[in-house]
Amino acid sequence: MTLSQSLLPFLANGLSLGLSISLVALAMALIWRTVGIIDFGLGSVYLAVAYATLGLTKGLGLGLGIAIPGALLFGVAVSLVLYGAVYRGFLRRGAPLFVMVLVGISVFMAIQNLIGAAVSPQKFYFIDTILPGFEVAGTRLNVAQLARMGVSLAALAGVAFFCLHTGPGRTILAVADNKRLAQGVGISVDRAYLWTYGVAGLVVGAAAIPDVAESGVDPYVAINPVFLALAAIIIGGLGNFRSPVLGAVLLGLAFHLAVWMLPASWQEVIAYGFVVAILVVRPQGLFGGMNLVRERA
Amino acid sequence: MLYLIDVLTLTAILAVAVHGYMLIKGLAGMLHLGHAVFYGIGAYAGAILSTRLLPPGFFPVAVLGGAVFAAAGALLVGWPALQARGRYFMIVTFAMQLIFVTLVINFVFTGGPDGLSSIPRISLGPWQPGRRWALALGPLELGFAQVKLLVMTAFTGLSFWFCSRIVQSPYGRLIRAVREDEQVVEAYGRDATRAKLSILLIGAGVTGAAGSLFAHHFNYVGPSQFELDLTMLLLAMLILGGQYSLIGATVGAVLMIGLLEALRFVLDNGLGVPLDMTAHLRQAAYSVILVLILAVRSHGLFPERLPRLARPPARQPAPRPAPAPTPASSDAVTDLGEAVLTASNLQKHFGGVTAVASAGLSLRRGKIIAIIGSNGAGKTTVFNILSGFETADGGEAHVGRTSILGRQAAEIARLGVARTFQDVRIWNRLTVIENILAATPYQPGEHPARLFLSPGRVARAEAANVADAWSLLERFGLADKANHPGSDLSYAQRKMLALGRVTAFNPAAMLLDEPTSGVDPKKLDVFLDHIRAFAHQDDRAVCLIEHNMAVVKELADWVLFMDEGRVVTSGTPGEVLGDHILMRRYLGHRKVATA
Amino acid sequence: MTTRLRSWGRAALIGMAAFAALAASIGPARAADDLPLGICQSTAQGPAKFSAALWKGAEIAINEINAQGGVNGRKLKPIPVDVGNNDPAQARLSLNKAIDVDKIASLVCWGTNVMVQNGPLIDEADVASFTMSSGTGVVKASKLTQQLEAVTTLYCKVSAAHIKAKYPSVKTFAVLYVNYEFGIELRDKCEEEFGKVGIKLVASEGHPNAPPDLRAQLTKLLEAKPDAIYLAPIGGGTVALGIRTARELGYAGLLTTYGAGDTPDIYNLKLAEGNFFFVSNEVPPNAPEVVKKATAEFGGYTPAGYEYIWLVSKLIRETTKPGEAVSGKTLIAKLRTERDIQTPVNRYLFKDDGNTTRPLAIFTIENGGRKLERILSAKELD
């Protein structure tokens, strides 16, 4: 097999993994830029959507056509509730960044463990068969992967359009840019945050459903996506909406190319090593713009 | 009861790790999400030393080894991270945390995924107890586990003492000043990045020692023990107890472990919860309680304890402050009236905007020069260039014969040029007297090595500095606020403190940026007297930026008028302020207040 | 000054409350005539799944035995021992509590590192322990620990023999293993055992503990064109992912795995219904109905919990008089002397070195459940 022949499947799969990470990265980036915090609590939304899809399909026997929108709506609701019930109180009192990070992680862990206790740690699938797919670039990409790729690009375009061309979206950008000034011209910061969390919840849900269609639902499925999303943001930066997405793609490629080059047990070392290298050499991210906007540590 | 002893032993070890965290996060204000990595490096280093390199009986050396390797790890991580001005420090340490476990799993010398077993127990030379070893003390018999607990508690005490010495020393004061405002620390001649790196190394070292203690307590280290949840646990302990207090750090460790164990009991025995769920519920409950604690009391239980420095007994009338030293350059100018600081043709552009087009000045001992001009004329930018806070795009500046353009702020300060800031910028969480002390130049106690190697010299220097600081506070009328935190002061008092602080530094040249702005006109005279004294009594070269023409008229020997980045005209106050055309252009049609 | 007093006061109050909770819970928590038996619990991704199954089985046995009056007049009480993320240090804390405070008479646990590092503690506490860990080093670390699970060598031997008999065209195989000591051991032992029957290892790749994605590894394995692929993860979800990914990438060959893959998510996986078998623990037709039903619902580790309780109860009844303290040494000695024991579910051979030959069975998946292909009794395997 020629070099390129054996390389192509890894490139294709790496791209697919990257685009799957990119959705969560986009959501995390949106919150980071607007609210100024790194929110690991998004993992809770991921889990909520995953289990909602499971419940609607296997539990209630509904078809995917109803279950998917239902689960997405549930995800948005969960995201808004978490903001209103937990984060808002802390943000209003000007809690420092590390407290917010701790709160986010704690909420995520609490929900993960509550699900483990109340539902079960078992893994469940709502799609039992092979997903239909296509032969592409020497490997086979199934509809979940293709859906993911399509959804990420659509989400990217959608979020960009929303922020640049709609009223609520523009308030998000204004608050992200300069909160005080935005307040000064009468923008409700709380409303902007609500929109942010809602959109982020939707995007995370869109990431979760294709993921768990393939790899099943259990309480631990959200850990990887969330941490990889952060890694993607580190690599890509926060300069504009494209940056974290590009960072995610690079990260996905790094994961797969690492296996192509070396024994697979070095996969994580290479990929995370890449992250560290970026941090050392270009801390604002490859495409710039990453800084701790609200450094209230 | 073995269980209780085991819990207490682990608590004692974790408390040491939290001490290290307190130094990095609480004392130095560096947000750091990879603390378990330092702990892990120390644990692995201690394990490898004890199992492969050291002969039996060398447990204390292994502990020290753990500290050294953890500090080396911190250097590796900290040096690039802090170069980027520390903003990305949190992210770097977080990435380090994520990678650490993966790295350790893949290396053979760390035992791979299995970790390292059969680590020898605690020992000291010939005393190498086995598990069944017991110490008979009269009627009492102490088992090995109990003795180990005592040993670990002793280490906790040692760590507490060591960290207290650091916190309460001039070095600790410097670190806190860096935490409050590191740019101002640089303005007073200290390298903030090096200070942060040094405390990072010390904190990591303490934590690494804790890791090595753990390795010898548990006799096994494995990669899964040093993951993000341990960092979160340590952070939670620190926050719960109060991140600015060592007592808080220790109490936090005790309370958190107590909480976790109490949860275990409550869930297993008390609540009638289905037993196969208890492990998950315990984690969930711990997370929820943590959020509640953060909501209710995110400052922790113990606040920062600011030192109360006593006024030394009055031995003699307050000594006059030493006359300004000559600038520390090789071609020192010693003649009265010679230029201390000269600059010419300074230029600075920000993007397309020219802030300074051409500016120059010459500061002489005993003379006060005032720079006036409308906002945006480039006055503060000139100060920033001269003090090293901005780089110049052109021109020259010298202290004596030494060129200062392009040097770091701390270097320029050490050459004898000090400045105040338009927005005051005192160190809020240092006490008033600490603000003075932190600016005082001669402090051997600011070097951590000297703190422990020559404690006598450090103590003597500190006592002398404290005495001088009190005198200075009396001179500036702030003595009764000496032990109050800087944040307690009124605006005018802060401006006064800023003057006191720059005096404490004893520079040859003082650049005062709007020293009287916002001060109640009734209190103005005091300020004027002080500034005049700087030049006439202390023999310093003084340059001030002022908007208040009355002040300029009172104080200045020479006035420079800047407009749009240039020194448009200069002369005596009478000449410049008397130039009505100029003044009208500057102030509009109002008459110049000369009263 | 007052703020400091308030802080001290607050700290003291919280401390006192914590210890009050502790003290209160220690006291009347356990009636004096209970017989506490320790059962581990995991919150780690893989083990959490079979931990749940094991608990269900144990609870069934406990309810049955208690309904008949308990053991020596004492009611059985399960004591959870939380090993966290399979963390030996956390396990030791929980174990200490279980031993000191709850006074467990026996233990069932897993996790190679957990068991190995706490072996001496178990011995010192004189607690009879059973393990579900397949690592060969576990019983070497403790004199009072007996395997309930087949070790890696045995799994590989059985798989190899079955392939040789039923799939003679298989000449090469590859291994996809979790990058932990356990997975590496399985890979090495299988290379040996398969080699003995003439099947060559042509490729192997490792994966992290809970991989989201196995495409990279499987793509690489498939390049070597193996006739069979042995999946060796830590249980819980990864086997299913491996099967799906392999089939999606176009692999049509044989897939096989060991017992930790025996969980309900595989039963329901249509993709597992062709060219796939696993070696696990069987529930024979004469086993109690309730156990058979629970196994179908919760997975192959359910009977293990049931049998643990049954074995311990039997041993205590036969060696310990009512009112006498339970000694682990006595229990294990009786177990190993009697050696050939038939529980309501299985027939075991308990050896003196702690290893156990236990019946294994070969299963395929059919119609949403396990289908028994063959049972190999302990005698056959010995």
CA nearest to A9, candidates A139, A165, A177: A139
Contact criterion met (CB < 8 Å) for C15 and B258? yes
Please tell me if residue C349 touches chain B, with a CB cutoff of 8 Å: no
| A289 confidence band (pLDDT: 50, 70, 90) | low
**Closest chain B residue by Cα to residue A296:** B31
Mean pLDDT of A193-220: 90
CB atoms within 10 A of CB B298: 18
Classify the C-alpha dihedral A215-A218-A224-A229 as positive or negative.
Answer: positive
Cα-based distances in Å from A269 to B72, B78, B138, C212:
21, 20, 56, 16
Please tell me if residue B3 touches chain C, with a CB cutoff of 8 Å: yes
Return residues 386-425 of B near C (CB < 8 Å). Answer: none
**pLDDT mean across residues, chain B:** 87
Contact A201, A78 (CB under 8 A): yes
Please tell me if residue C205 touches chain A, with a CB cutoff of 8 Å: yes
Quote the pLDDT of residue C337.
94
Mean pLDDT of B508-532: 91
Contact C257, C370 (CB under 8 A): no
Residue from A4, A6, A122, A142 whose CB has the most chain C CBs within 10 Å, to mutate: A122
Contact criterion met (CB < 8 Å) for C92 and B218? yes
> Number of Cβ pairs closer than 8 Å across B and C?
133
Contact criterion met (CB < 8 Å) for C92 and B6? yes
Mean pLDDT of B520-526: 88
Mean pLDDT of B88-114: 82
- C202-246 residue pLDDT tens: 999 988 877 777 888 898 899 899 999 999 987 667 888 898 889
Contact B540, B509 (CB under 8 A): yes
B203 Cβ contact partners less than 8 Å away, ≥ 6 residues apart: B20, B21, B22, B23, B24, B28, B38, B74
Q: What is the DSSP secondary structure assignment for residue A4, as one 8-state letter?
A: H
Residues of A in contact with B287 (CB under 8 A): 106-107, 109-110, 113
Please tell me if residue C252 touches chain A, with a CB cutoff of 8 Å: no
Residue from B31, B114, B180, B263 whose CB has the most chain A CBs within 10 Å, to mutate: B31
Return residues 71-110 of B near A (CB < 8 Å). Answer: 80-81, 84, 87-88, 90-92, 94-96, 98-99, 102-103, 106
Residue B326 has pLDDT above 60, yes or no: no
Tokens of B169: 């020393």
**pLDDT mean across residues, chain A:** 84
- C310-345 residue pLDDT tens: 999 999 999 988 888 899 999 999 999 999 999 998
What percent of chain A is predicted at pLDDT more than 90? 28
Compute the distance between CA of residue A212 and CA of residue A214 in angstroms, rounded to an integer: 5
Q: How far is B273 from chain A (nearest CA, A)?
A: 10
Contact B174, B450 (CB under 8 A): no
Residues of C in contact with B47 (CB under 8 A): none
Quote the pLDDT of residue B213.
96
Residue from C43, C209, C213 whose CB has the most chain A CBs within 10 Å, to mutate: C213
| A173 class by beta-carbon count within 10 Å (0-12 exposed, 13-18 middle, 19+ buried) | middle
- B110-131 residue pLDDT tens: 888 778 888 888 888 878 787 7
Tell me the residue ranges of DSSP E strands in C212-268.
Answer: 228-232, 254-257
Q: If residue B137 lies in a helix (H) or strand (E), which one and from where to where?
A: strand B134-137
Quote the pLDDT of residue B334.
44
Residue A1 has pLDDT above 50, yes or no: no
Residues of B in contact with C25 (CB under 8 A): 262, 265-266, 268-270
Mean pLDDT of A66-95: 93
- C136-156 residue pLDDT tens: 888 988 999 999 888 888 889
Distance of CA A76 to the CA centre of its chain: 14
ipTM score here?
0.85
Compute the distance between CA of residue C25 and CA of residue B267 in angstroms, rounded to an integer: 9
Cα-based distances in Å from B282 to B259, B268, C56, C85:
10, 9, 19, 13
Contact criterion met (CB < 8 Å) for B291 and A266? no
**Closest chain C residue by Cα to residue B101:** C208
Compute the distance between CA of residue C84 and CA of residue C88 in angstroms, rounded to an integer: 9
Return residues 244-303 of C near B (CB < 8 Å). Answer: none
Contact criterion met (CB < 8 Å) for B265 and C84? no
3-state helix, strand, coil in chain B (%, to 5): 55, 15, 30
- C179-197 residue pLDDT tens: 877 888 899 999 999 999 9
Mean pLDDT of B288-308: 85
- B406-454 residue pLDDT tens: 899 999 999 999 999 988 899 999 999 999 999 999 888 899 888 889 9
Q: How far is C41 from chain B (nearest CA, A)?
A: 6
Does this model's pTM top 0.80? My answer is yes
Classify the C-alpha dihedral B231-B235-B237-B243 as positive or negative.
Answer: positive
Q: Find residue B359's DSSP bridge partners.
A: B346
**Exposure of C319 in the CB half-sphere (CA atoms within 13 A):** 22
CA nearest to A178, candidates A50, A289, A34, A66: A34
CA nearest to B475, candidates B365, B322, B270: B322
Mean pLDDT of B185-189: 93
Contact criterion met (CB < 8 Å) for B232 and A97? no
Contact C217, C205 (CB under 8 A): yes
Return residues 98-127 of B near C (CB < 8 Å). Answer: 102, 105-106, 112-115, 117
- B192-247 residue pLDDT tens: 989 999 999 999 999 999 999 999 999 899 888 898 889 989 998 998 899 899 99
Torsion of CA C50, C56, C57, C62, to 10 degrees: 140
Quote the pLDDT of residue A211.
86
Contact criterion met (CB < 8 Å) for B239 and A99? yes
Residue B337 has pLDDT above 90, yes or no: no
Contact criterion met (CB < 8 Å) for C7 and B218? no
Quote the pLDDT of residue B566.
85
Contact criterion met (CB < 8 Å) for B294 and A90? yes
Between B412 and B314, name the one with better pLDDT: B412
Please tell me if residue C244 touches chain A, with a CB cutoff of 8 Å: yes
Contact B76, B112 (CB under 8 A): no
- A83-111 residue pLDDT tens: 999 999 999 888 888 888 889 999 999 99
- B58-80 residue pLDDT tens: 899 999 999 999 999 999 888 87
Q: How far is B308 from chain C (nearest CA, A)?
A: 12
- B457-490 residue pLDDT tens: 999 999 999 999 999 999 999 999 999 999 999 9
CA nearest to A122, candidates C53, C304, C149: C53
Q: If residue B170 lies in a helix (H) or strand (E), which one and from where to where?
A: helix B170-180
- C7-35 residue pLDDT tens: 454 555 555 555 555 544 444 344 567 89
Compute the distance between CA of residue B508 and CA of residue B340 in angstroms, rounded to an integer: 7
Contact B201, B71 (CB under 8 A): yes
**Closest chain A residue by Cα to residue C297:** A122
| B594 confidence band (pLDDT: 50, 70, 90) | very low
**pLDDT mean across residues, chain C:** 85
Name all domains of chain C by residue range, CATH numbers in brackets.
33-150+284-358 (3.40.50.2300), 152-280 (3.40.50.2300)
Quote the pLDDT of residue B72.
96
DSSP sequence for A136-194: ETTEEEEHHHHHHHHHHHHHHHHHHHHHHHSHHHHHHHHHHH-HHHHHHTT--HHHHHH
CA nearest to B93, candidates B176, B171, B25, B43: B25
Quote the pLDDT of residue B580.
79
In this complex, which of B96, B283, B294 lies closest to A109 when CB atoms are compared? B283
Contact criterion met (CB < 8 Å) for C220 and A139? no
Compute the distance between CA of residue C101 and CA of residue C34 in angstroms, rounded to an integer: 13
| A4 confidence band (pLDDT: 50, 70, 90) | low
CA nearest to A218, candidates C259, C49, C234, B284: C49
CB atoms within 10 A of CB A150: 13
**Closest chain A residue by Cα to residue B278:** A117
Compute the distance between CA of residue C83 and CA of residue C46 in angstroms, rounded to an integer: 13
Between B546 and A279, name the one with better pLDDT: B546
Winning range, highest mean pLDDT, from A174-178, A270-274, B246-250, B294-298: B246-250
Quote the pLDDT of residue A293.
41
Please tell me if residue B280 touches chain A, with a CB cutoff of 8 Å: yes
Residues of B in contact with A297 (CB under 8 A): 29, 31, 90
Q: Report angle CA B143, B148, B153 to the nearest 5 degrees.
A: 130
Quote the pLDDT of residue C13.
54
